[in-house]
Amino acid sequence: MSEAITVSLGARSYDIRVGSGLLKSAGALLAPMARGPVPVVTDEHVAAKHLEPLLLSLRNAKIDARPIVLPPGEGTKSFSGLERLTSDLLKTGVDRGGVVVALGGGVVGDITGFAAAVLKRGIDFVQIPTTLLAQVDSSVGGKTAINTAEGKNLIGVFHQPRLVIADIDTLASLPRRELLAGYAEVVKYGALGDGNFFTWLEAHGAKALGGDKADLTHAVAHSCRMKADIVARDERESGERALLNLGHTFGHALEAATGYSQRLLHGEGVAVGMVLAFRLSAKLGLCSANDSDRIERYLKQAGLPARIADIPGNRPDADTLISHMMHDKKAKDGKLVFVLVHAIGQAFVTSNVSMDDVRAVLAD
């Protein structure tokens, strides 16, 4: 059982395969593009669970797979991490006509994509995301990056993968909290552009999160389809792609104010941020309080934080959050860019928001 979605970008178009049992088929899927040694980059946690089955599948397809195992965690996405990784990649002997595989979550995908983009002036890469967040967001669309002391993801390039293989079976071993954090991004797709999908999630989301393969495949595939369509229309985020940042202006500020710690995972910040974006939209008379309540109720019911007060520890105050927002890389010409909504499934981008209204919503 699997679905195929195409990201249509002319000569750089690629497929996203979503379904159960796909790690076993990875060899067959990769064989047409594999030439010479194929580095498989992963981290220690993912390697313990998924590396062997992947290597078996690749080797059964006569692919000369060469594992590179990185330390887990966001710290790996650094210049020193990139230096180590590019050196390890070069040592495998991969050449310009070859392909690099990223097996793991957002950290592995982001740094491997970036390394592939700069190695020998650009080598193809394949994403095999193993977290829900990576399957529905970071593995699709070609954003690659590392972090610096100045901020997250500030150094990077667009480099589209040649193929994305999202095996939903890899999600079974994720800690519940991490699965839910990724699920916030799934809910985001309904909230930003597809009210019917949001309604479907209200009815089927719990089953999908409980491991129902058909529902989970549909939730991931539909999210990927929505992202693929947006990326095809606006690859470089000059317009519509910014809709994918629904909840992120608030969410990033909350992540910064909580020190990017276990207090608030990225997806949890997006969940609270989405509710704040709906609340701000309702306050400005752009959407109904009903829709705003419905989003909040559903996120809560799914097990996600939906209010600032749901975040453990001291509550960050409105001014601290606003000052973090002003430093966000998405701020343009000193103006904050918000994704607001007319209704569930009808988001739009604006920089025409008064800080007094933002402050009032944060303080509420």
Residues interacting with ligand GLY, by CB under 6 A? 137, 141, 143, 237, 241, 244
> Catalytic pick from 162, 222, 252, 324?
252
Is 237 among the catalytic positions?
Answer: yes
The Cβ of residue 149 has, within 10 Å, a number of other Cβ atoms equal to: 7
Sign of CA dihedral 136, 138, 143, 149: positive
Instruction: Specify the residue, 143 or 279, whose C-beta has the smaller distance to ligand GLY.
Output: 143
Distance of closest approach, residue 143 Cβ to ligand GLY, in angstroms: 5
Is 241 among the catalytic positions?
Answer: yes
> Catalytic pick from 50, 162, 218, 245?
245
Is 248 among the catalytic positions?
Answer: yes
- What the block records as the tokens of 248 is 């992120």
Instruction: Specify the residue, 243 or 362, whose C-beta has the smaller distance to ligand GLY.
Output: 243
The Cβ of residue 184 has, within 10 Å, a number of other Cβ atoms equal to: 29
> Catalytic pick from 159, 218, 227, 324?
227
Distance of closest approach, residue 283 Cβ to ligand GLY, in angstroms: 25
Distance of closest approach, residue 1 Cβ to ligand GLY, in angstroms: 26
Is 342 among the catalytic positions?
Answer: no
Instruction: Specify the residue, 68 or 220, whose C-beta has the smaller distance to ligand GLY.
Output: 220
Is 266 among the catalytic positions?
Answer: yes
Cβ 131 vs Cβ 156: under 8 Å: no
Write down the residue that tokens 């606006």 correspond to. 234
Count CA atoms closer than 13 A to 359's CA, side-chain side: 8
* Rg (the chain; Cα; Å): 20
Distance of closest approach, residue 298 Cβ to ligand GLY, in angstroms: 21
Write down the residue that tokens 């899927």 correspond to. 29
Is 185 among the catalytic positions?
Answer: yes
Is 268 among the catalytic positions?
Answer: no
| Among 177, 204, 176, CA closest to 190 | 204
Residues in a beta bridge with 163: 15, 126
> Catalytic pick from 77, 143, 188, 218?
143
Is 59 among the catalytic positions?
Answer: no
- What the block records as the tokens of 77 is 């996405």
How far is the C-alpha of 338 from the C-alpha of 349, rounded, in Å?
6
Instruction: Specify the residue, 7 or 280, whose C-beta has the smaller distance to ligand GLY.
Output: 7
Instruction: Specify the residue, 282 or 347, whose C-beta has the smaller distance to ligand GLY.
Output: 347
Name the residue number minimizing CB distance to ligand GLY: 244
> Catalytic pick from 188, 266, 279, 324?
266
| Among 157, 99, 94, 151, CA closest to 127 | 99
Catalytic positions: 121, 143, 185, 227, 237, 241, 245, 248, 252, 266
